[in-house]
A and B are shown apart, each in its own frame.
Chain A
Amino acid sequence: MIDVKNVTKRFGEGQAAVTALGDVSLTIPEGSFFTLLGPSGCGKTTLLRLIAGFELPTEGEIALDGESIGHLAPNNRPVNTVFQNYALFPHMSVARNVGFGLEMLKRPKAEIDSTINEMLDLVQLGEFATRRVDQLSGGQQQRVALARALAPRPKVLLLDEPLSALDLKLRKGMQSELKRLQHETGITFVFVTHDQGEALAMSDQIAVMSAGAIRQVGTPEEIYTAPQSRFVADFIGDTNIVNATLLGFDGDAAKIKFGEGTPLTVHAASTSLSPGPVHVALRPETIHVVDERAETALLRGEVVDSTYFGAGSQMLVRLEDGVSVHVQVSTPRPVGSRVGLECDTSMLHVLED
């Protein structure tokens, strides 16, 4: 288990100092596939480098299984990294790359050799042991990098956007391969990515980050269906964010209304919001298109665009207050027609800003 406690990281000094991470706290459970998700510059890679030991925290502490590791050199941490560009040693064979960690730990030769074979089998590169690194394809190099990082049996494996250099087809294959490896080894994986699809597909838990802070931690389902803030809702998938008025709270539930419509009871990310204008998240797949005059319609607007994408169509509906909403339908309405939008109120979410 990794405990990140009130970690702040600043680069530079005085006036020119840049805060990459501001007072971040996070618990990564043992044996889980944990993803740090966020746009570039959000601090996710800095957090990874702090866990690896390539950076030292300006303030705060990092503990691994209760032991403080925040100020140890990288070579003294039982943590290994798969780098974004793999960083395989070009002057060594595949086998020596994989055995490098154990060689540095001065393990017996027999143990190193058997681990190399075991690891290369694990990533299905058994017959490539004697090859030079530059004779391998990108996908193969990726798997050597994984084998090299897993060979010393670290407590934690850090992966810094390892799939970003691969083409789409290879990336899909590697996603399930990574899940399989995590499952087979039981090692805690900390995965950094800016790709929300990747994060949702692979993770046990996701921490969504922005501007040096953690915005939300949860399972992929929680993050997807119950985003707490406008940022998270915006970043995960193509959620619609519409305007509403908050009337008040009834326990944990929020009472809201759209325009001058009837009051609705919905979920809220926080009960500390004050009544007035708020934003509500609305997933495209939970919306149904109905007649404009239907009683059940919560929102009304005009179809301004419609795109066919094979399994259905995506319609763009402009609401009366000018906000546009994406809707997935099987049979689109003609552009220019007025429609009503209905949706399950249990899927609505009032967001923090």
Chain B
Amino acid sequence: MDKLLSIFRPSTGSRELRRQPLFTGMSWLVLLFLYAPIAVLVVFSFNDNRSVVRWTEFSLRWYAAALENDDIRRSAMISIQVALSATVFSTIIATMAALATTRGGVYRGRSAAIALINQPLMIPEIVTAIATLAFFSILRQLTGVTGIGWLILAHTVFCVPFAYMPIRARLSDMSVTYEAAAADLYATPWQTFRHVTLPLLMPGVMAGAMLAFVVSLDDVIITLLVAGPGETTLPIYILGQIRRGVTPEVNAVSTILIGLTVTMVTLTFFLQRKRK
């Protein structure tokens, strides 16, 4: 990401860029449209009024209401359960896939394998959702198995490419000499992975896991079609409430979600920086 950003501030041209006409105005406009809606949502979650457009007084009543709402609590628990499980499984799978595509030597079909892993990112989610719905219906009927496992499985699958990207990036940047040095110092392949590859790969794994967690927590379309009765996740619940108009209660829940995400991103950022 730093590399990507650095092209926007070349060492000699940064002042010139700032002097470009409209640069400052455009930047503020983009930032405004990105963050103003969120700011409004956060502000009105503290409003002591049922209206989401007219400010009266500061209050935490909607937070209290949200936390006391059994439906919200239940759906939040399901969301966290699904997201955590999907994160763990997809990160493990993505790590193995990244190892196979960067450390497995050159083999026939490697590029195809990488493309196949990343392809789901390009397929419209609604298509994946309908396909998964149809496929899982068949499987459910054949096996007779029901339960939240199917939803976790669906989330795991679409989280894999998100977790895979940062892990693979980290692995390709990492010199294979470290692993050669470990093998040279009598480490078996497993010991090499355990003591050298994995610790050095950890920032990538953390970033991948975080992406997977956020993507899973946020998912609506696939969840909407795959989730069985009683498996309402938080986004699905919010969506249901919105149909009856935006309530400050929904604002409060959304603010908690934002807070959770921002905390995670910040935490990962500092963890990675400490490692460096």
Q: A interface vs B, CB < 8 Å?
A: 52-54, 73-75, 79-81, 83, 85, 87-91, 100-101, 104-105, 148-149, 152
Contacts and interface: CB of A to CB of B under 8 A. Distances in A.
Contacts of A90: 200
21 contacts: A53-B183, A54-B180, A54-B184, A75-B186, A80-B185, A83-B177, A83-B180, A83-B181, A87-B177, A87-B178, A87-B180, A89-B181, A89-B196, A90-B200, A91-B199, A100-B185, A100-B195, A101-B185, A104-B186, A104-B187, A152-B185
Interface string B183-204: 1111110010001100110000
Contacts of B185: 75, 80, 100-101, 104, 148-149, 152
B6 interface: no
Interface of B: 175, 177-178, 180-188, 191, 195-196, 199-200, 275
A54 B182 CA distance: 12
B176 to A, nearest CB: 10
B178 to A, nearest CB: 6
Given A87-B175, A87-B177, A81 B199 contact: no
Nearest to B199: A91
A53 B181 CA distance: 11
Given A101-B185, A148-B185, A91 B180 contact: no
For the complex of A and B, 5 pairs with smallest distance between CB atoms: A101-B185, A87-B181, A74-B183, A87-B177, A104-B186
A74 B178 contact: no
A101 to B, nearest CB: 4
Contacts, number: 61
A132 to B, nearest CB: 11
Contacts of A83: 177, 180-181
Given A52-B184, A53-B184, 4 more contacts: A80-B185, A100-B187, A101-B185, A104-B188
Contacts of B200: 89-91
A75 B188 CA distance: 6
Contacts of B180: 54, 74, 81, 83, 87
Contacts of B183: 53-54, 73-75
Interface of B is mostly: helix
Contacts of B188: 75, 104
A89 B201 CA distance: 12
Contact of A81 (B181, B187, B191): B181
Contacts of A74: 180, 183-184
A81 B182 CA distance: 10
Give the residue among A73, A74, A80 with the most B Cβ atoms within 10 A.
Answer: A74
A267 B175 CA distance: 50
B213 to A, nearest CB: 24
A303 to B, nearest CB: 51
A54 B183 CA distance: 9
A75 B189 CA distance: 9
Most interface-central of B183, B184, B188 (chain A CB within 10 A): B184
Nearest to B106: A12
A80 B184 contact: yes
Interface centre among B183, B185, B188 (most CB of A within 10 A): B185
Contacts of B186: 75, 101, 104-105, 152
Nearest to A105: B186
Contacts of B196: 89
A132 B171 CA distance: 22
Contacts of B199: 91
A152 B185 CA distance: 8
Q: Which of A52, A73, A88, A104 has the most CB of B within 10 A?
A: A104
A81 B185 CA distance: 8
A148 B178 CA distance: 13
A85 B177 CA distance: 9
Contacts of A73: 183
B188 to A, nearest CB: 6
Contacts of A105: 186
A100 B177 contact: no
Contacts of A54: 180, 183-184
Contacts of A149: 184-185
Nearest to A91: B199
Nearest to A99: B185
A75 B177 contact: no
A80 to B, nearest CB: 6
Contacts of B275: 91
Contacts of A152: 185-186
Nearest to B175: A87
Contacts of B184: 52-54, 74-75, 79-81, 149
Contacts of A89: 178, 181-182, 196, 200
A176 B175 CA distance: 30
Contacts of A52: 184
A103 to B, nearest CB: 8
Nearest to A78: B186
B74 to A, nearest CB: 42
B187 A75 contact: yes
Contacts of B195: 100, 104
A83 B185 CA distance: 12
Nearest to B191: A104
A37 B1 CA distance: 43
A100 B183 CA distance: 11
